[in-house]
Amino acid sequence: MTGGRAGAALLVAVALLTGCSAADPQAEPADPDVGVQLFQLPWTAVAEECETTLGPAGYGWVLLSPAQEHIAGDQWWTSYQPVSHLVESRLGTREEFADMTARCAAAGVDVIADAVINHMTGQTAPGVGWAGSTYSHKDYPGLYEESDFHACGLTADDDIVDYTSRDQVQTCELVNLADLDTASSRVQQRIVAHLTDLLDLGVAGIRIDAAKHMAAADLEPIVAALPEGTRVISEVIRSAREPIAPEEYTGLGEVFEFQYARDLFPQLSSAILADPDLDGQRPMHVAEGAAVVFIDNHDTERGEADLTYRDGARYVMANALMLADDYGTPIVYSGYAFSDRDAGAPTDGTGRVTADTCGAGPVDVTTLTDGQRTCVHAWPALAGMVEWRRIAGDAARLPGVDAGDAYGFAREGRAAIAVNPGREPAALAVPVDLPDGRYCDVVASGPRIGATGDCAASVEVSGGIARFELAAGATQAIHLRSATG
């Protein structure tokens, strides 16, 4: 232990003994843990975002769209129909990929690849992939042949029909996508080679696409063959009606917890917010250390999500509550505006996706046109909440308070947040153990540590009470380092 650490530990011990708050106005931000999904963003633009927005804002990791060669076509979902394991796609070349991981690492941002390993293409006719590889439904020359695929024989066309059947879900075809026999060691070896290649190219971990469609036992030897410390996040869409549960996959690493947003949406629409179980035990949720939580992702924004970029302040409210929470690891979603569910991101004359980047300014969601980047990760409110979360660190989430439609809570000695999902202005007094003074609202103003710009809105703290004055639909959040001085 260093002298400085010992000194800090002593101060904390004294504070605990004397019963006074451990509030240290110079509290250092905790290590970044928030991720951002940059949907269908080319590697050169991801590198740019790491350097200009993600690193400076304190995001810790970025989730990419799939990097492997895919079928030809303009739709975004061509990414989810692999043709080979070449790292060549509409999102960039192998060289650009390696350059991105290096630049992101230098900016303090880990890169997580989206690994499509359950299946290959869903095409019935033979074709040629983005990088020139030829294929047919169950034949990928030099990589997979017919015997490497399942032929489930459980449904008329071998497509999944009944999600209550574990065997169908895991061995039949998901929307006609040729389903790899992931129990076979030959297939496992090829998948491991692909994932190892991505790791050699500098990624810190992988999202396992469609993990539900592979038995956890099939994935175990694959994950075990990867280097110690590889981050693995499985996508297992929770459904109470189905036999396959996200909990089956926590032995591999983290899982996306789809229930998190589903619990939040009705609270925001009814303006009746309640504390979750503050001991971290949440019904229908994986253990808190395994959970990656989100308000939406590329699938749910085209489906079940109640709130998306289109909802502006209300979407900010949902994301802010998630970022303020002490359960799970949050990931913010940032894509592009769309009205057609299938529409891909804009491309240049060669078919490559355009490398659009985001400035730091707020985005007016009402003026976005199809294909324009939403830049959610760069919205000052979200960047401000990422800073808030790092100041909150591991401080306890205290019981919430409400008044009318407003609700709020503090992270002990560090920070407080208040939301008003109702239709009328509301005042809310949140008990906080912060020193008296005025604190800048990081939702209106963005990050405040080292900021030189004016504070757009502030909240008074006196005698251990933060007095929030919330317009209808507003979110405000203050932290120890946002004091206006």
Instruction: Please give the residue ranges that form the binding site for Ca ion (CB under 5 A).
Output: 118, 179, 213
Q: What is the dihedral angle through the alpha carbons of 284, 287, 291, 294, rounded to the nearest 10 degrees? A: 40
- Using alpha carbons, list the distances in angstroms from residue 388 to 28, 57, 138, 220, 447: 11, 11, 50, 37, 8
Burial of 13 (0-12, 13-18, 19+ CB in 10 A): exposed
Which range, of 36-44, 168-176, 238-246, 398-406, touches ligand LM2 by CB under 6 A? Answer: 168-176
Strand locations in 426-474 (E): 426-431, 437-440, 458-462, 465-470
25 backbone dihedrals φ, ψ, rounded to 5°: -60, -15
Contacts of 181 (CB under 8 A, 6+ apart): 147, 148, 149, 150, 187
CB of residue 266 to Ca ion, shortest distance in Å: 33
Regarding 122 and contact with ligand LM2 (CB under 6 A), the answer is: yes
User: Among Ca ion, ligand LM2, none, what binds residue 179 when CB lies within 5 to 8 Å by partner kind?
Assistant: Ca ion
Residue 32 contacts residue 393 (beta carbons within 8 Å): no
User: Among ligand LM2, Ca ion, none, what binds residue 257 when CB lies within 5 to 8 Å by partner kind?
Assistant: none
Which range, of 15-23, 91-99, 171-179, 282-290, touches ligand LM2 by CB under 6 A? Answer: 171-179
Regarding 49 and contact with ligand LM2 (CB under 6 A), the answer is: no
Q: Which residue in the shown chain puts its C-beta closest to Ca ion?
A: 213
Q: Which is nearer to Ca ion, 212 or 397 (CB)?
A: 212
State the Cα angle at 276 between 274 and 277, rounded to 5°. 135
CB of residue 380 to ligand LM2, shortest distance in Å: 29
What strands, in cross-sheet order, belong to the sheet with 401-403?
401-403, 406-411, 415-419, 475-479
Active site residue 235: yes
Site for ligand LM2 in 212-241 (CB under 6 A): 235
Q: Which is nearer to ligand LM2, 53 or 121 (CB)?
A: 121
> What is the rounded CA–CA span in Å between residue 243 and residue 236?
12
> What is the rounded CA–CA span in Å between residue 263 and residue 167?
29
CB of residue 123 to ligand LM2, shortest distance in Å: 6
Chain-centre distance for alpha carbon 67: 18
Among 299, 304, 348, 436, binds ligand LM2 (CB under 6 A): 299
Question: How many CA atoms lie less than 13 Å away from 67 in the CB half-sphere?
Answer: 32
CB of residue 409 to ligand LM2, shortest distance in Å: 32
Which range, of 24-32, 77-85, 98-106, 327-335, touches ligand LM2 by CB under 6 A? Answer: 77-85
CB of residue 155 to Ca ion, shortest distance in Å: 13
User: Among Ca ion, ligand LM2, none, what binds residue 483 when CB lies within 5 to 8 Å by partner kind?
Assistant: none
Residue 291 contacts residue 234 (beta carbons within 8 Å): no
CB of residue 82 to ligand LM2, shortest distance in Å: 9
Regarding 338 and contact with ligand LM2 (CB under 6 A), the answer is: no
Site residues (vs ligand LM2, CB under 6 A): 77, 80-81, 116, 122-123, 174-177, 209-210, 235, 299
Q: Give catalytic residues, as residue numbers.
A: 209, 235
